[in-house]
Amino acid sequence: MTKRGKWALGTGPTTKSQEHYGFLVSFVSLWLRFQSSQFPVFLLFYCFEMNTMSVRVRFAPSPTGHLHIGGARTALFNWLFARQSGGTFVLRIEDTDQQRSDEEMVQGILEGLTWLGLDWDEGPFFQSERLDLHRAVCQRLLETGWAYRDFSARNEGPDSHRAFRDLSSIEMEECLKGGDPFAIRFKVPEDQTIQFEDLVFGPTTVETNNLEDFVILRSDGYPTYHLSVVADDLEMGITHVIRGADHLSNTGKHVLLYQALDEVVPTYAHLPLILGPDKKRLSKRHGATSVTEYRDHVLLSEAVRNYIALLGWSSGDDSEIFSSDELIKKFNISRISKANAVFDYTKLEWMNKRYISSSPAETLEAGVREQLQKSGLWRSELEEDARPWFLSVIDLLKTRVQALPDFAVYGKAFFTDDFSYDEAAAAKYLKAEQRPILTEALTELRDRYERLPDFTLEKTEEVLREVANKYELKAGQFIGAVRVACTGRAQAPGIFDVLVTLGQTNVLARLDRLIQYVE
RNA sequence: GGCCCCAUCGUCUAGAGGCCUAGGACGCCGGCCUCUCACGCCGGUAACACGGGUUCGAAUCCCGUUGGGGCUACCA
């Protein structure tokens, strides 16, 4: 039994068996705790409430594409809801569309979720392995008269199935003998108003007259989404269905199915859709939108998770940066927006940058290593003897880096001597008319640095400023030249940090190299 | 086409009839800090889609228009 249960949370019904079992367990455990002394009566109600609430949610992606931002957000919200209520998060792969499903995609989805830190408690279950259940549910519907066989060919016109809606059993037998393939349709009742409460969109009604008799089992024997989703959610005891708002219009059908099966309808919460900058539904043509891409390229999973949490949800107190635990604490379905949200990569980048600059070097280490390996800059000693040094370099670079690959670009000179001088930087700090005096100054600096017994922040700065003064060079200008010598670039961390981090020997060598270059 | 949903700065959003001269964040622009670049800090830019009601009073409630989105598949 979970201890995180939140009795105040909600309104969702559960199946009767769960309710009673859970109630019993926590009642008994509390009873033992209090040793039957004075068992407070209100706790009895507490137990009952708590278990009525035993939340079970699921994320049910179809493996017809990568885990994209929208799916990830849906998964996140489900996960958050489960974690904060001490409920269960189930993962179910909806792969009943044989043609469009792909095993590689399944792997991608699993990896994406794992990367984001969204661990599931049960599953992954595959819908394709649950066909017996779906067919059994369909059979129940057929037997109770809620469904019928449609023998019409697909191309016979939009209403051809209606001819089979009220076939007598004798007529039906005839058709069956004919051996024609048939689909099974749900018999939508006429003139009814379906009602359900959506945690985001509020009370919702659907007129059955606006609904077709939808197919629940295709002629190839495979269930459609409507059937399988209801059958599975039912069988898995799902209490809260949290999914994209693209399903809102179809929810009437699902409610109808639950009612026809004489089962309790779960609580729904439909999430506003995530759109591209053109306000169209987010898709591949909007660029990088797959979670795997983010992982492989550049972004920190914490940043991605934090950013997508803000798509359609806000804390209400102006805060935007949350750790995983804070999110779990603060997340609240009632604060989910109804309006669709445009995905803004710029803000994601900002958040990523923020996360990078505020993460401890140890957290960044693996990602940076990967980037260095990609760029051929990795040396194994960086995870052995030189590891403390490696971490200090990360700390130096992390506030000025936009994304992970930048460590290998801005930071190149920390990991190899083989770098060239940036043209613009050279043009700015190694002007031709200054070169003679620069050569002298650099040479003196080099010699004095060589004689420095302790190569520290303070000493290197003191010496550099003295030399700059002596040759009547502006400190900034001189520093610029030294920076080019040491990093090849005009932008780098503070020069004395760079010097000390590089170490005396390296600095001397690099000064020599520049002196030769300007001569 | 039919049905449904949504509508606050360019973007994400706060706002549940007077607290709104509409708040925060990203972006953008300026400034400070400073050896560069970042970080940080300070300041600025910019919105209640439109039109009618209801009300003493509306971003908030109602209606219409417009715009956007979704569904309408033997896709999910």
d(CA A362, CA A429): 35
Lowest mean pLDDT of A277-291, A433-447, A489-503, A505-519, name the range.
A277-291
Identify the residue with better confidence: A46 or A278.
Answer: A278
d(CA A121, CA A124): 9
Q: Is the CB of A493 under 7 A from strand B?
A: yes
pLDDT the model gives residue A300: 93
Chain B positions with an atom below 7 A of a protein C-beta are 2-8, 10-15, 23-27, 35-40, 68-76
pLDDT class of A434 with cuts at 50, 70, 90? confident
Residue A370 has pLDDT above 70, yes or no: yes
Residue A486 has pLDDT above 80, yes or no: yes
Residue A229 has pLDDT above 60, yes or no: yes
Q: What tokens were used for A481?
A: 């030249």
Torsion of CA A438, A442, A444, A450, to 10 degrees: 180
pLDDT the model gives residue A359: 93
Please state whether the peptide bond connecting residue A124 to the residue before it is cis, i.e. omega within 30 degrees of 0.
yes
Mean predicted confidence (pLDDT) in A192-204: 95
pLDDT digits (tens, 9 = 90+) for A316-339: 898 999 999 999 999 999 999 999
Identify the residue with better confidence: A463 or A165.
Answer: A463
pLDDT the model gives residue A95: 87
pLDDT class of A189 with cuts at 50, 70, 90? very high
pLDDT the model gives residue A98: 63
d(CA A394, CA A361): 6
> pLDDT averaged over chain A?
86
Q: Is the CB of A17 under 7 A from strand B?
A: no
Q: Is the CB of A64 under 7 A from strand B?
A: yes
In A126-162, which positions are buried (b, 16+ CB within 10 angstroms) versus exposed (e)?
ebbebbebbbebbeebbeeebbbbbbbeeeeeeeebe
pLDDT the model gives residue A283: 75
pLDDT the model gives residue A217: 95
Q: Which residues in chain A, range 145-184, keep a C-beta under 7 Å from any nucleic strand B atom? A: 150, 152-154, 158, 181-183
Q: Is the CB of A198 under 7 A from strand B?
A: no
pLDDT class of A509 with cuts at 50, 70, 90? very high
Closest-approach nucleotide to residue A482, Cα vs C1': B35
Q: Minimal CA–CA distance to A233: which of A87, A10, A15?
A: A15
pLDDT digits (tens, 9 = 90+) for A11-26: 333 333 333 334 444 4
Sign of CA dihedral A113, A100, A124, A262: positive
* From A16, A284, A374, A470, active-site residue: A284
Length of chain A: 519
Distance from CA(A105) to C1'(B49), angstroms, rounded: 41
Burial of A448 (0-12, 13-18, 19+ CB in 10 A): middle
**Through-space distance between the first and last CA atoms of chain A, rounded to whole angstroms:** 77
pLDDT the model gives residue A13: 35
Identify the residue with better confidence: A353 or A298.
Answer: A353
- Per DSSP, the residues of A82-116 read HHHHT-EEEEEE----TTT--HHHHHHHHHHHHHT
pLDDT digits (tens, 9 = 90+) for A281-317: 887 777 777 888 888 768 999 999 999 999 999 998 9
Q: What tokens were used for A268?
A: 């729904």
Q: What tokens were used for A18?
A: 């769960």
Mean predicted confidence (pLDDT) in A473-489: 92
Q: What is the pTM of this model?
A: 0.87
pLDDT digits (tens, 9 = 90+) for A79-138: 999 999 999 999 999 987 666 667 888 999 999 999 999 999 997 999 999 999 999 999
- Per DSSP, the residues of A120-147 read -SEEEEEGGGGHHHHHHHHHHHHHTTSE
Give the single-character DSSP code of A261: T
User: Is A284 a catalytic site residue?
Assistant: yes
pLDDT the model gives residue A162: 79
Residue A513 has pLDDT above 60, yes or no: yes
- Tracing tokens 């961390």 back to the chain, one arrives at A493
pLDDT the model gives residue A16: 35
Q: Minimal CA–CA distance to A148: which of A207, A94, A189, A206?
A: A189
Q: Is the CB of A268 under 7 A from strand B?
A: no
pLDDT digits (tens, 9 = 90+) for A142-158: 999 999 999 887 666 67
